[in-house]
Amino acid sequence: MRAIARAQPNIALIKYWGKRDPIRNLPAVGSISVTLSDLFTEMDVEIDDALNDDVLIVNGQDDNAMLARVSSCLDNVAGKDRSAGRVTSKSNFPIAAGLASSAAAFAALVVAADAAYGQALNRAQQASLAGRTSGSAARSLLGGFVELENHRDDIVVKSLLDADDWPLKVVIAITASGPKAVSSGDAMEISRKTSPFYDRWVEQQAADLAEARVAVLDRDLPKLASIAEHNCLKMHSVMWGSRPPMIYWNSATIACMQSIRELQSHGVAVFFTIDAGPQVKAICAAEDEQTVRQALIATTGVVEVIVSGLGEGAKLVTA
Ligand code: PMV
């Protein structure tokens, strides 16, 4: 009747932006990500027949803003007739700031809810259900390098490489804390409806995925760097071309990109990616971690730098 699960955020190298079915939250495009090891969210789900409604506590405080999404995720796992649950969430990193906190949260929630409500789902079913609440959450069910594919009216996640097969580092420059003004879910719908670049984005995604998949399987960092930066900037071009425009960057975001260009010009194998927030994620070989970290700490406007390796998919920590 109670279970706790832990999941790590994932960072997309080939991005998900846009829904083909907004009701079922199915993505318009496939994506490729890396699951992190050092950042995590824990979800504790306790079924309590004495409760009339679900309760959500995030980092020690009642959270009504996220409660509806959490309840609908529990409905997806256990059905609408289920007993109410008390859900307690804890993260060791800033939430709702473009660090994929919802991915980690909903991956952990599905795994914990599955055990607490005794559903005995397999990984594929868990991924599909996590994806209904947050598209990127499906990828946090697996570790290392993960590809999410569209299959008819569902999604499928596959492991391309384990974390140990290519132990890259992700150096995250925090340039602003606090929640974002527009959620990624809302913003991608605005892009779908208004951006003149949206259709071309969707059309080109299969080619970007193919190029990145080969680069991952070959462990070819320069090749992965080139396609990942291209795909990231293309996604932001779609956002900038939306009405109203979705501009998540600040001046420090751009300064970080310049610092990474500078490192690249000195032969450091590193590349950037940016999601629906102002933080910059630099992906590099393990031996370059210190160099990249120092360069980002020294960049004007960077508030904090967090480093993570690559890790495993969501798992139960107690049952
Ligand atoms: O899963 P959502 O709704 O939080 O959207 C994720 C969107 C991006 O982070 C910008 C890209 C991605 O693939 O993770």
pLDDT at 287 over 70: yes
Q: Which atom of ligand 1 is nearest to the CA of 185?
A: 3
**For residue 135, how many C-alpha atoms fall within 13 Å in the half-sphere facing its CB?**
30
CA–CA separation, 319 and 311 (whole Å): 21
Backbone torsions φ then ψ of 53, nearest 5 degrees:
-135, 160
What residue's CA is closest to ligand 1, atom 6?
Answer: 136
pLDDT at 26 over 90: yes
DSSP summary character for residue 164: G
- Report the separation in Å between the CA atom of 52 and the middle of ligand 1, taken as the mean of its atom positions: 33
Structure confidence at residue 98 (pLDDT):
62
**Helix H or strand E segment including 284:** strand 280-284
pLDDT at 100 over 80: no
CA–CA separation, 182 and 191 (whole Å): 12
Residues with CB under 6 A from ligand 1: 12, 15-17, 31, 102-103, 134-136, 184-185, 275-276
pLDDT at 294 over 60: yes
Confidence of residue 64 (pLDDT cuts 50, 70, 90): confident
CB distance 93 to 153 below 8 Å: no
> What does pTM read for this prediction?
0.96
What residue's CA is closest to ligand 1, atom 10?
Answer: 275
> What is the full DSSP assignment across 203-248?
HHHHHHHHHHHHHHHTT-HHHHHHHHHHHHHHHHHHHHTSSS----
Residue 255 is which amino acid?
Answer: A
CB distance 212 to 228 below 8 Å: yes
Mutate to test the pocket of ligand 1, among 8, 13, 16 (most ligand atoms within 8 A of CB): 16
Q: What is the pLDDT of residues 117-170, one digit of tens each?
A: 999 999 999 999 999 999 999 999 999 999 999 998 999 999 999 999 999 999
What residue's CA is closest to ligand 1, atom 9?
Answer: 275
- Report the separation in Å between the CA atom of 239 and the middle of ligand 1, taken as the mean of its atom positions: 13
